[in-house]
Structure 1
Amino acid sequence: MNPSSGPAEASRWLRSYYFSRAAFSVAWVAAAFTIGRSLPPAGAALLVVYPAWDALANLVDARRNGGLKANPSQTLNAAISAVTTLAVAVALGRSPHAVLAAFGVWAILAGLFQLVTGVRRWGTGAQWAMVLSGAQSALAGGFFLKRASDLSVPGIADIAPYAAFGALYFLISAIWLSVRLARKSRATREARQ
């Protein structure tokens, strides 16, 4: 949060941020299950875009909330997501198993960094969902790594549920913050009367 901003402004910004993260993930999942499955070039592009978006979102969030140095978990998450974007682009030329393995490593690391960010921000509200999301992401990463060594050929449909759960957690956090802000606003109005 900006040094001059108060807790309410910080919560409003996080609410908007979480809504935008949820909206992107919902759109990505819809695209993955439609054009991503039927058009391989579109699926490949979606697989590269997903970690790139995460890198950008973490970078914006860290800068908005005190800068990169003040938010090491988000800064590292942005860096890992940027590296993953490149790794996925390279892995697409190798095999679907390599792509899923890249997503697995990313999901573990990004999940742990998200968990740390959620714990650090606990006082801003709705962070229990971010902590759960981070933990589930790390577990999903382990599943991706296991699945990457299977004989069956993985595809974008194996990654889409991961993004869908991310959307759900971001949406829960955004709604939770909306309710919290509405209650505080109502309490403030009642106190002034």
Structure 2
Amino acid sequence: MEEAARLFREKGYVATTMRDLASEVGMEAASLYNHIKSKEEILNEICFSLANTYGAKMDEVYATSDTPIEKIKKLIALHIQINSMSSPLATVMNDEWRHLTEPCKSQFLEKRKQYERRFTDIIEEGIKRGEIKNVDSKIALYTLLSSVRWLQHWYHANRELDVTDIKGNIMEMFFAGLIENQYEWKN
């Protein structure tokens, strides 16, 4: 799976062949088919494995009595961890899911939508409680998620930085901002 993910990230899912994968793992292509039916099976496994990891963590975090801010911190920490430590897998899930076929594609998208709905619920609860500024919850969600996604492309080439330090910096910027004084955007 790791080698397939790395190849999918480097060449793209469509351009990667089973022969490429067999070569990477030191097998003949015919032998690989004894273990894997198709590269689509690999794509499904990668996408659903990570989607299930995110879903299980969301279930765990959502059910706690933590404040919305604490819940968001836990979820962002998960995204940082996965996008930095499992970067080829994260890249495939985030960029190559479009190549899933039905019914898997619809099932995957439903898992993603459910995760995003619950994350949005947490943000909206934070707004109601006055813990989070009154912002559009969808914009907040996608800003948070896209703000950690770059790690999947960047971190694997920059491993001299510690994930804990990266996590601390990102959390500081998310929750305290870059500017020392309070800031309010005005047109």
* TM value normalised by structure 2: 0.36
Between 1 and 2, higher relative CO (CA 8 Å, sep ≥ 6) is seen in 1
Specify which structure has the higher proportion of helix: 1
